[in-house]
Structure 1
Amino acid sequence: MEITGTSHAPDLAWLLTTVERRLVTRTSAVLEALGGTLEEWRVTALLADGAGHPMTEVAEHALLAPPTVTKIVDRMVANDLVHRRVDEADRRRVLVFLSERGRAAHERFSAALSLDRAELAATLGEPELACLTELLAHLATRLP
């Protein structure tokens, strides 16, 4: 297998990093066209279930450090995309929920990313994209 710009067979980490960077760039462009960010997409995607989630879970899902997620959620609160509420079951915890405006943003983001995924599937082939997704999900759950 030859990759443009390389003189040797690429290793798995290099391939995964290259693909991740290209997908993040592509996804970010789709979201930026709607006034959103990748981080906001990840937060709204988690909160779309309506259950409310603690900040630690939001940080884990967004793949970001807790202080960074706090800044992002603060900005999202200021833009009326999410709101915080004390957890009734554990008053020491604060849960984050989507606002109505946040739910609408999530729906816009989701629709645009579905179209982008369809374009990606048309380019790569649906069976290949499905196989890649399944393999990566398997790898993500199996690696320590």
Structure 2
Amino acid sequence: METGSQAVHQARSQLRPGLGSPNGAPDVFRELAARLRERAALLDLKLRDAVSGSGISVEQWWMLDCLTRVEAASMSELSAAAQTPPPTTTRMVDRLTELALVYRALDERDARRVMVRIAPRGSALWEELEPATSAALSEWSGPLQEWQARTVVEMLASQ
């Protein structure tokens, strides 16, 4: 039996080459967008499995992951890392603070700005989850080579 994703892929593959929308977007861009969405959803499922039982969500894991790479991050940087709107980010950081995984501090250069830093407990939890999240990322990326991933990242970042 064919899955919904397979049926969509088959239908898309039967489109006439070069045919675009009335507004001029080629079908290949629609196909790319659909593939990116499918891959993002699959990654989300794999990471949910990896962090299940840890007491944090995938979005909160992305925040911790971001904080392991920088000394401190602003709320807007964490919002971008977790792909959550600012009010949701605030609630998630509140929860991470309650769990003693992160702490807030005023920005040393701008006292109006709050920065978030990872706490020792947050680092320990991130380390504990690292084998499972790395495995999820590796499984998700499939046969993609690192150089290919870098190329895609650079192309998307230049937009």
Give the shorter-chain TM-score range.
0.7 to 0.9
Contact 1:50 1:98 in 2 (8 A): no
Partner Cα separation in structure 1 for residue 39 and residue 75 of structure 2? 29
* 1:5 corresponds to: 7
Query: TM-score, normalising length from structure 2?
Result: 0.75
Question: Deviating runs (4+, > 6 A) in structure 1?
Answer: none
SS in structure 1 at match of 2:6: coil
Query: TM-score, normalising length from structure 1?
Result: 0.82
Contact 2:43 2:136 in 1 (8 A): no
Runs of 5+ in structure 2 lacking a partner?
A: 14-29
Question: What residue identity is the alignment partner of 2:101?
Answer: L
Q: Which has the larger radius of gyration?
A: 2
Deviation at 1:34, TM superposition (A): 3.4
Deviation at 1:39, TM superposition (A): 0.8
Note the 1:1-144 alignment, pairs <5 A.
Answer: 4-6=6-8, 7-9=11-13, 11-49=31-69, 51-120=71-140, 124-125=142-143, 128-143=144-159
Work out the percentage of aligned pairs sharing the same amino acid.
26
Partner Cα separation in structure 1 for residue 40 and residue 7 of structure 2? 17
SS in structure 2 at match of 1:97: strand
The alignment of Structure 1 onto Structure 2 pairs a total of residues equal to: 137
SS in structure 1 at match of 2:84: coil
Over the aligned positions, Cα root-mean-square deviation in angstroms equals 2.1
Runs of 5+ in structure 1 lacking a partner?
A: none
